[in-house]
Structure formats: C-alpha cells, structure tokens
Structure 1
Amino acid sequence: MKSRDTLIRLKRFQLEERRRRVRQIELMVAEFVRISGELDREIATEEKRAGISDPRHFAYPTYARAASARRDNLKSSVAELAAQLEEAKAAELEAQAELVKVEALESRDKANERPVDVSARA
C-alpha cells in the first residue's frame, strides 16, 4: 500500500505541474495580447502625429514600423502559444484521468481490506 500512496502523490504532483503549465501559458497569452493592444495604440498615435498611415510610404515613421514588426511577432507568438496551450490542456486532462484511476484503485483496495480485517478479528 505504501507504493500506492507514493504513486498517488506522484500523480497529484504531475497534475499540479500540468495545471501550472496551463496557467503559465494562459498568462503569457494574456500578456502578449495586452502588449499587442498597446502597440496598436502607439502605432495609431505615431501615424496620426506624422500624418502618414501607409507603411510603404518613404516617410513612414520608423518607430511605427518597428512597433508594427514587434506587434506582428507577438501575434505569431500568441498563435504558437495557442497550440501549446491545447497540448498542455490535453496533458492536464490525461494526468487528471490517471490520478482518478489510481485513486479508484486505492479506494477499491481499501474497501476490500476492511472485510478482511473484520474477519481476522473474529
């Protein structure tokens, strides 16, 4: 039974690690989306200040061009993180199912032990 307790602790630890990973990715996505929104506003402000909104124009503001590149990189990172998030959620569900299975085995074993203990006393 001691090994089963160790296994249950291990499965709980693995589940918590998977949950932490999901939360971490969700926080990164939220942060990247927030920064991307700020960059959108800064780009619009810079374009308004310069009076040029066409990125192909020779006098397009350098800061707006750099901010656009950074925003585009963040958006591609968000897309990559979305795929990682789906994988992390699937791993979390798998870890949860494994924990439930091990806990069910533990409770079944304990239920089977009780009648044996009672009959041993008689």
Structure 2
Amino acid sequence: MLVVGGVVTLMCVLLPLACWRDDMAIERRLGQAVAQVDSVAFNRTVVRYATPDGRVIIPSQGVLYPAGLNVGDNVRVEYDQANPELTRVAGRSAVLSLLPVGTFLVAVWVVIGLVVTVLRRFGTQV
C-alpha cells in the first residue's frame, strides 16, 4: 500500500511541476488572442483563435485551466508563439492545479490509511 501511495504522491507532485513548466514556456514567448470555446468535455475544452499572422489555431489537447468555460464563450487566451498548441486561459496559472491535486492526494492517503487499518484489525499483515 505504501508503494501505491508513494507512486500516486510522486505523480501528484509532478503534475503541478509540469503545469508550471508549460506556464514558463508560454510566458517566455507570450502571444495573446481572443478565442471562441468550441466544445467542453470532461477531459478537454477545445478553443479556436487566430494569431496575428492570420493562422487559425485549434489546440489538439485543448486549453489549459478551462474551468467555468461554456460552448460559445469568447475568452482571452495566452499561448506560446513558438508552439501555439500550448494555450491557457489568460490570467490563470499552475496555482489552479494545487487544490484539486492536493485534495486528491489527501483522499488517496485517507483510503490507504483505512485499508491498512482494516487489514490490521482482521490480522492480515500489510
């Protein structure tokens, strides 16, 4: 159980670090635009925007930090000019990943603690 908890903890630490890395890439070569929200799903929110040179960009992985967006909304986005696929909602950052990741991590350790307690109570070695 401790190995599972350790692996999940490592993943939960790496996720905000990856978000921070993406934010740094965007800020290094910052581009800004107004995007239209085309679709909203559990795993991805698709937006469409035009760059100053006239290219229309639809990031295949969706936009970063999409909470609260609805289909048809117009939203300001920031993107990496060298890689316009890397796009986030303007004004949002990796800080937004800390609460859900932290909450998930606490829940995982509570469940692990309960499982270990139940197994010990019934005499099974962990």
TM-score, normalised on structure 2?
A: 0.39
User: If each structure's strand is expressed as a fraction of its own residues, which one has the higher value?
Assistant: 2
Name which one, 1 or 2, has greater alpha-carbon Rg: 1
Determine which structure has greater relative contact order: mean sequence separation of CA pairs < 8 Å that are 6+ residues apart, divided by chain length.
1
TM-score, normalised on structure 1?
A: 0.40
